[in-house]
């Protein structure tokens, strides 16, 4: 009869554990290797498809809707509503590689927000009556995006620069305690230059492009005392959906 003492039994268990660990590691490495190969094959397939579907240079016209909000930090701002606006203009698409392209645009865009002001100190602080203010800001915007093309899909992001063409506010009247009137605010009361970042996704099917993007301003919009107090550190925040046609 084979006798196994405690020391031999311990050595056998240790050896079995080592063999099991080696098998597990070997199996995991094989799975990782297979997964890596499968991923490479998938990426290669996507790249081949992208090469065949990636459009060449083109220029076109586009238009769409804006859904904008200012996110006013003013303590007397009781409610904020999304303002619906519009944009239209020209776009271009310049291939850099089989998968990358540069998308410059020149757009006229209407943004802003609807803000309700209230509070017991509103007249003393701002010199206006409680109520709703509608901010209308009209810019000429020049976004320049770098797009990654995967077949008809493109994911794009980049900076934008905008110039304020006109601005107006509506609805609130001056307080009897003050001579200031919100309707006196003009374009000069807001910062003329705006800049920020944008990103989105689009689909290009032959000469038609459709997509959505988000614009986030990096500069506050108000620069005068009243406009600055009304908007505090507010920056443009805009969601856009668009439809374009290559020409």
Nearest CA to 73 among 220, 226, 233?
A: 233
The 10 Å CB-count burial string (b at 16+, else e) for 64-76 is bebebbbebebeb
**Whether 79 and 132 share a structural domain:** yes
Same domain, 130 and 117: yes
> Do 137 and 206 share a domain, yes or no?
yes
Shared-domain flag, residues 110 and 36: no
User: 239 pairs with which residues across the strands?
Assistant: 67, 214
CATH number at residue 125: 2.40.160.20
Tens of pLDDT, residue by residue over 172-223, are 655 554 555 666 677 888 999 999 999 999 998 888 999 999 999 999 998 8
Phi, psi of 57 (to 5 degrees): -60, 140
The model's pLDDT over 22-56, given as tens digits with 9 standing for 90+, comes to: 544 444 444 544 555 555 455 445 444 544 455 56
| Residue from 62, 61, 67 nearest 80 by CA | 67
**Model confidence, pTM:** 0.73
Task: Tell me how many domains the chain contains.
Answer: 2
Q: Which among 128, 141, 14 has a CA at the least distance from the CA of 68?
A: 141
Q: Are residues 12 and 31 in the same domain?
A: yes
| Residue 222 DSSP label | B
Domain end position, chosen among 9, 35, 53: 53
Q: What is the Cα–Cα distance from 74 to 118, expressed in whole angstroms? A: 11
Do both 6 and 46 map to the same domain? yes
Map tokens 């969601």 to a residue: 239
Q: Which of 14, 37, 53 is the last residue of a domain?
A: 53
For residues 71 and 46, membership in a common domain is answered with no
Q: What range does the domain containing 62 cover?
A: 56-246
């Amino acid at each position: 009869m084979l006798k196994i003492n405690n020391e031999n039994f311990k050595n056998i268990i240790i050896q079995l554990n080592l063999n099991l660990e080696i098998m597990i590691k070997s199996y995991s490495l094989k799975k990782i290797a297979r997964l890596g190969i499968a991923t490479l094959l998938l990426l290669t397939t996507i790249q081949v498809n992208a090469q065949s579907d990636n459009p060449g240079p083109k220029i076109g016209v586009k238009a769409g809707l804006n859904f904008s909000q200012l996110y006013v930090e003013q303590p007397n701002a009781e409610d904020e509503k999304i303002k619906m606006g519009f944009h239209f203009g020209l776009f271009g698409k310049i291939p850099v590689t089989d998968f990358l392209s540069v998308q410059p645009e020149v757009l006229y865009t209407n943004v802003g927000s609807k803000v309700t002001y209230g509070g017991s100190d509103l007249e003393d602080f701002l010199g206006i009556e409680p109520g709703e203010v509608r901010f209308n800001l009209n810019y000429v915007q020049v976004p320049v995006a770098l797009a990654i093309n995967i077949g008809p899909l493109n994911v794009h992001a980049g900076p934008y620069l905008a110039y304020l063409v006109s601005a107006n506010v509506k609805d609130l009247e001056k307080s009897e305690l003050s001579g200031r009137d919100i309707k006196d605010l003009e374009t000069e009361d807001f910062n003329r230059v705006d800049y920020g970042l944008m990103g989105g996704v689009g689909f290009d099917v032959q000469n038609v492009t459709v997509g959505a993007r988000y614009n986030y301003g990096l500069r506050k919009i108000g620069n005068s005392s009243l406009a600055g107090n009304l908007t505090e550190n507010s920056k443009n925040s805009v969601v856009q959906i668009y439809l374009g046609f290559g020409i």
